[in-house]
Amino acid sequence: MPLHNQGMNQLDALKQFTTVVADTGDFRQIEAYQPTDATTNPSLILKAVQKAEYQSLLRDTVAQFRGRALDEITDRLLVRFGCEILSIIPGRVSTEVDARLSFDTQATVTRAERIIELYQAQNIHIDRVLIKIAATWEGIQAAAVLERKGIHTNLTLLFSFCQAVACGQARVQLISPFVGRIYDWHKKAAGAAWVEADNAGANDPGVKSVTQIFNYYKKFGVATEVMGASFRSVGQITALAGCDLLTISPELLAQLAHTTADLPCALSAQRAQALNLHHVAYDEPSFRFALNQDAMATEKLAEGIRAFSADAVKLDQLQLAA
């Protein structure tokens, strides 16, 4: 049922039933849109530290901890950005574990614990930080360990239903299914046969994926929060209004803030309860097979890890040059 904005812009309307999260490492942009939470990743931090206004953060951190291991300096830089962001927002910040550890459960746990210790040293409460981890089998198992220790996690690079189910089984705090990258893959795969109008709104393949996950979680009482991510258009965002959280780039936040059209609530836990869905569970072999059977998810997960790893290397190089 539509929510009548009565002159309210779509960003403010969206905030009435979805937690809005800023997807950026540029904390000066965050202030303008007053989101509850914020997410970062290696690519966003890399982009930020190359801006003139943030280069001093990089130089100061490297100078202060020169001689320490490069991975420690990286974590200190990430936490420095996270603390700046937390001084602006009322909620949580997501800070990512190095994507090069995506297939090493123990190394991911160790790195996550250090990130949390660095935040705690800055008097940041553990509940204000989400450790972001790629949703590989190993990453999901690391998240399960961390959650049992009271360290909350955000499982990212999530493209498939089996990843979401496994995250729910691991009792992770939050997942970030990637709407735009799913859309990108299907559009590319379809080629000349792609008809944009037929794949918009609720029919967008990325929107359909998040909707399936949201409905499953609500139907079966999975406590894990669903945060749609990686948006290509305002239409993808509005088609998921009502999702637990949506993490949105500053550019799309600006578009929402300048639009006053009515915003219907597309997803609801109440409607999900009425659906006829089947409960499923995965162990490692069945998870790996299900992921393997999903060409899109297999390709986008691998591609995402490669891209984040490449940006982690570039961030290392910037630190060595600082």
Query: Each residue of 220-259: pLDDT tens digit?
Result: 999 999 999 999 999 999 999 999 999 999 999 999 999 9
- Residue 2 has what pLDDT? 47
CA 78 – CA 83 distance, rounded (Å): 9
Q: E strands, the chain, where?
A: 2-3, 19-23, 37-39, 93-96, 129-134, 153-158, 174-177, 225-228, 245-248, 263-264
**Architecture per CATH, 2-321:** Alpha-Beta Barrel (3.20)
Q: Which residue has the tokens 């160790």?
A: 110
Residue-wise pLDDT for 124-153, tens only, equals 999 999 999 999 999 999 999 999 999 999
CA 49 – CA 99 distance, rounded (Å): 18
Through-space distance between the first and last CA atoms of the chain, rounded to whole angstroms: 54
| Cross-strand partners of 264 | 2
Residue-wise pLDDT for 29-59, tens only, equals 898 899 999 998 888 899 999 999 999 999 9
- Residue 41 has what pLDDT? 86
Residue-wise pLDDT for 259-304, tens only, equals 999 999 999 999 999 999 999 999 999 999 999 999 999 999 999 9
Give the model's confidence band at 5: pLDDT under 50 very low, under 70 low, under 90 confident, else very high: low
Asked if 153 and 147 touch (Cβ cutoff 8 Å), the reply is yes
Q: pTM, whole model, 2 decimals?
A: 0.95
Per-chain mean pLDDT for the chain: 95
- Residue 6 has what pLDDT? 65
Kindly list the catalytic residues.
132
